[in-house]
Structure formats: structure tokens, C-alpha cells
Chains A and B, each alone.
Chain A
Amino acid sequence: MARRPVRNWPVLVLLLAVSLAATVVPLPDWLEPLRPNFVALTVLWLCLLSIRTTGLLMAWGSGLAIDALHGMLLGQNALALVVIAYIALKMRLRIRAFPILHQSAVIFGLLLLNEFILFWIDGIAGFPVTTWARWLPVLTGAACWPLMTGLYSRLAIRA
């Protein structure tokens, strides 16, 4: 019988709650379009680097929480996050071995896919946001990745 993985639920929930809160904290106007998608970053980190992953259901739930929190179409972020979490889980062994900048590039790709799915659904649902500024969080998110991994590993989160 394989060991049942230890899941540190309180830490996990706290981590997700903090990153959720970080997506609605009021920022100055000029900074707001740059705000990275913290929840997506956290979910990716949990999928890629935490010792034992939690997986898709967590990604789906966090996505739903974003939708409820921001008053977006319910299920929009859930779908996008599930898809990128799936890819991250599939590639987890390879990505882990990458150097940090290389990882950032992969994260960039995943966040881009996430944003593209959101963009797509926005278009289908009839409220497209077509300004180029909506893609900025992808860049800032990828730029934040080294910082975040550093921080999370430093906190020694064994989620």
C-alpha cells in the first residue's frame, strides 16, 4: 500500500485565500492593469512544485471562487484553470527540472493559454475586452514566477 500523501489543508486553503484576496485588493489605477493573476500562479505552483499535488479539483474550485469574487461568468476561470492545471500536471516532471528562467517561459505560455481561454469565452458570451492591456498580466505573472517560487519554497509550504 502506497503511503497516503500528506495534505496540509489549512495551509493550502490559506494560500489560495490570500491569492484570491490579492486579486481584488485595490491598487492605484496605473498599476491595476499590471496585476498578475495570483490565483493562476498559485495553482500552477501547487501543481508543479509542491511535493504532493492536489490537482484539478482544487484548480476548478479556485477558478469558481475567482468568478464569484469578480462577478464574471460562472465557470469561466474554472475552465481556464483546469486546463492549465492539467497541462502543468502532465509536464510536471519535465518542468521541475528546468532552470528558473526556463520555468518562467513555460509559465508565460500557460498563463497566455489561460488568458486566451478567458478572452475566448468573453467573446462568446458577448462582452469582449479587446484592449491589448488585458494581456499585460500574462507578462507580469511570468515575471513574478521566480519571486513566487522563491517565496513559497522559503515558506517551506508542504501543501
Chain B
Amino acid sequence: MSPIQDQDHRPLLLEGPSLGLRLAILAAAAVALMVADHQQQYIGVVRGWLSAAVYPVHWIVDAPGSAWRAASETLTTRRGLTEENDRLKAENREIRLRLLRFDSLEQENQRLREARAGSARVAERSLVAEILRVDLDPYRQRVLVNKGSREDVFVGQAALDATGVFGQVMRVGPVSAEIIMISDPDHAIPVQINRTGVRTIAVGQGQAGNLMLPYLPRNADIVEGDLVVSSGLGGVFPPGYPVAKVGEVRRDPSEPLLSVSAAPLAQLDRDPEVLLVWFDNRVMEPDDEASAGQSLQVDPHAATLEGVPVPDTAAAEPAPELPADPTTPAAGN
């Protein structure tokens, strides 16, 4: 036989256990890792270090794209800049106008909440994170951003963009974080129909442009074009941020539930960056609610769990989240 084949009959490493044994050991190690990772609490640190270790690869892959962006920013024409400037000025004027009203509304809101001893849950601090142009798993709606635990990003943090709710942080490394978008099939976000106050859940479908609202009863008041906002239940997302616009509403008489699709308002597949927000996500405890209800028994609408005033229809429907505590007779009903 040829000398090459003679060589190959030696064990692969000249010392050490046989190939089969090493397969068994490594496979067992992989299985152990998977189990530990699936339980999630054990190896967060390992995850963090690994993601830091592979970050250079992400960075290098992203580099041409960001270099191109930087170059095109440097090389924009004077005319282009003037045009953009004009556009931004107009936009700014409009936004300032709206802000004037917002300031007074916010103060009023604050006063009302103080009167109810509730906590104002608006975004307090935000951080702009750039989305790296890398492809993660094509069958899941996830992105990688360039901010991590060094900037105090944490798991479960809400991510928004200029037009709506984007998603939440799923894993955090030292310098990067993975965000699961609201359109991921594994993601669901508690929402509220802005017009009627009906609460439900919006579930991702695996496509950037589509959410489903599968848990609405057939007689729910919902029409095409309704705005869907975050309800703040669950404490991950701040309440009241726009999530989606209702698309098709299918009422099948033979089904007990509606089939409602909605289009996310955030530019899920086009955003170059997202906003990570910190807000006081202390979910109001039933006790808080009870004391608020007792101290202010005049307001019949006040006691929904998330502290967002809702109209009669929602307050009147049987809401399982309401405190079933016999000592709170005045809690909204």
C-alpha cells in the first residue's frame, strides 16, 4: 500500500484515547451543554464569554457595510445635505408642536398618577444600539446589536424604534446582545387595541411584516386599521407604545375566535439601529392597586392592572387579572 495509507493507520493523535471513545466524550459534552443551555440558568456566563469570543467575526462581517455607510455619509453632496436639513427642520417643527401638547399632557398624567399613588411607567433612559449586518438563523427573527452588558443592557429589556415596538433582548454578551423581534414565531407581546382598550396578545409569525392576534373572541370589537399598542402587562414593554396596525379581520362563524392579522409598525427588516429603553417596570401589585382603589374610591375605571385607563367595555368584561381579594371591594367593579 502507499505510504500515505500506512500513515493513516496510526491513531489520529499519537497519544490519547481511541477515536470512538473521543466521539463518545465529545458527544456527551455537547449533550450536557445543550441541556444546561436549555435550562438557561446555568451557563449564562459561558454564553457571555462565547459571544464575546465570536464577536470579532461578527464585527469583521459587519465592517464592509458600516465602512460603506460611513463613506457614503462623508461623501454626500452639499445639495443632498441641504435637502435633508430642510426635511429635518420641517419634521422638527411638527414634532415640537406636538411636544408642546405632550408636555402638558405628561404633567397632567403625572398628577393623576400621584393622586392614585401609581407609578408612571414611561421610558426613562434609552440607548441607541446599532444592528450588525449579519445573518443569524434565517428561520427566526433575531438580530444582533453592538451593545451589551458593559452598557447595562439586560435580558428582557425592551427595544423600540422610532415608529414602534421592535422586540426584546434575549441574550446579552459583554459587547453584544441578541434581540428577538416581535415577529419571531417564539415571541408574543401583550397588547391592547387603542380604540377600545381590549387587551390581547400579539404573536409573531416568522415574517417581518406579520403578527397574529389569535385570542380575540368572535364578538370582539376590532376593525381593519385599528392601532394596537403595548399594554404593559408582563412588565417587559412600557405601556402605550404602538406595536402594529390591524390588517385583515376574518370572522369565521364556525370558529369561536377571530383570525386577526396585524402589520408591525416598527421597521423590523429595515432598521439600522434600535433604541433600548429602561423604564420603571414595577408591575403594580394587587396590594398597590387595592390601596389605590381604597384611597380613591371615586374613580370606577382606575383599577386595571397596568394602570392604563380603559373605557367601560374593557373594565366591565370579566378580567382574570383583577385582584380576587375579598378585601378590595372597590377595585373597579
Are A127 and B38 also in contact (CB < 8 A) when A78-B26, A78-B33, A90-B19 are?
A: no
Task: Convert A96-139 into 0s and 1s, putting 1 for each residue whose CB lies closer than 8 angstroms to a CB of B.
Answer: 00000000000000000000000001000101010100100000
Chain A positions 38 through 60: 1 when the CB is less than 8 Å from some CB of chain B, otherwise 0:
00000000000001110111001
Q: Measured between alpha carbons, how far is A57 from B186 in the docked complex, in Å?
A: 33
The answer to whether B13 touches A74, judged by C-beta atoms less than 8 angstroms apart, is: no
Please report which residues of chain B, range 137-163, place their CB below 8 angstroms from some CB of chain A when the two chains form the complex. 137-140, 142, 144
Q: A159 in the interface, Cβ–Cβ < 8 Å?
A: no
With A21-B61, A75-B37, A76-B34 already in contact, the answer to whether A68 and B53 are too (CB < 8 A) is: yes
Residues of B within 8 A of A73 (CB): 34, 37-38
Interface readout for A47-87 with B: 1 if CB under 8 Å, 0 if not?
Answer: 00001110111001001110111111111101100110010
Interchain pairs with CB closer than 8 A, number: 123
Q: Are A25 and B50 in contact (CB under 8 A)?
A: no
Tally of contact residues, A, Cβ under 8 A? 47
Tell me whether A24 is interfacial, beta carbon within 8 Å. yes
Q: Which residues of A contact B170 (CB under 8 A)?
A: 71
Determine the residue in chain A with the shortest Cβ distance to B133. Answer: A26
Does B135 contact A74, Cβ atoms closer than 8 Å?
no
Query: In this complex, which of A35, A52, A75 has the most chain B Cβ atoms within 10 angstroms of its Cβ?
Result: A75
Assess A17 versus B57: contact at CB under 8 Å? Given A71-B137, A75-B34: yes
Contact of B139 among A53, A56, A83, A129 (CB under 8 A): A129
Q: Which size class do B's interface residues fall under?
A: 35 or more
Question: What is the CA–CA distance of A24 and B176 in the complex, to the nearest angstrom?
Answer: 15
Contact among B27, B136, B171 with A24 in the assembled complex (CB-CB below 8 Å): B136
A151 at the interface (CB under 8 A from B): no
Task: Give Cα distance in the complex from A55 to B18, angstroms.
Answer: 12
Judged by a CB distance under 8 angstroms, whether A154 is at the interface is no
Other than the known A24-B57, A57-B26, A75-B33, what 12 A-B pairs have Cβ atoms closer than 8 Å?
A24-B134, A25-B61, A33-B138, A52-B7, A75-B34, A78-B30, A82-B23, A83-B23, A86-B19, A86-B20, A93-B8, A129-B139
Q: Which residue of B lies closest to A82 (CB)?
A: B26
Where the two chains meet, the residues of A that have a C-beta atom closer than 8 Å to any C-beta of B are 2, 4, 17, 20-21, 24-27, 32-33, 35, 51-53, 55-57, 60, 63-65, 67-76, 78-79, 82-83, 86, 89-90, 92-93, 121, 125, 127, 129, 131, 134
Interface residue ranges of B33-52 to A (CB < 8 Å): 33-34, 36-38, 43, 46-47, 50-51
Q: Is the CB of B178 closer than 8 A to any CB of chain A?
A: yes
Q: Take A21-B60, A57-B26, A82-B27 as given contacts and tell me if A68 and B54 are in contact as well, using a CB distance cutoff of 8 Å.
A: yes
List chain B positions with a Cβ less than 8 A from chain A. Answer: 4-5, 7-8, 10, 12-14, 19-20, 22-23, 26-27, 29-34, 36-38, 43, 46-47, 50-51, 53-54, 57-58, 60-61, 65, 133-140, 142, 144, 170-171, 178, 185-186
Contacting residue for A69 out of B7, B58, B138, CB 8 A: B58
Residues of A within 8 A of B36 (CB): 74
CA distance A60 to B34 in the complex (A): 13
Q: Are B186 and A71 in contact (CB under 8 A)?
A: no
Q: Nearest chain B CB to A55's CB is how many angstroms away? A: 5
Complex interface: chain A residues within 8 A of B31 (CB)? 75, 79
**B57 surroundings in chain A (CB, below 8 A):** 17, 20-21, 24, 69
**Which chain A residues lie closer than 8 Å to B47 at the CB level?**
68, 74
Residues of B within 8 A of A51 (CB): 4
Cβ contact within 8 Å between A56 and B23: yes
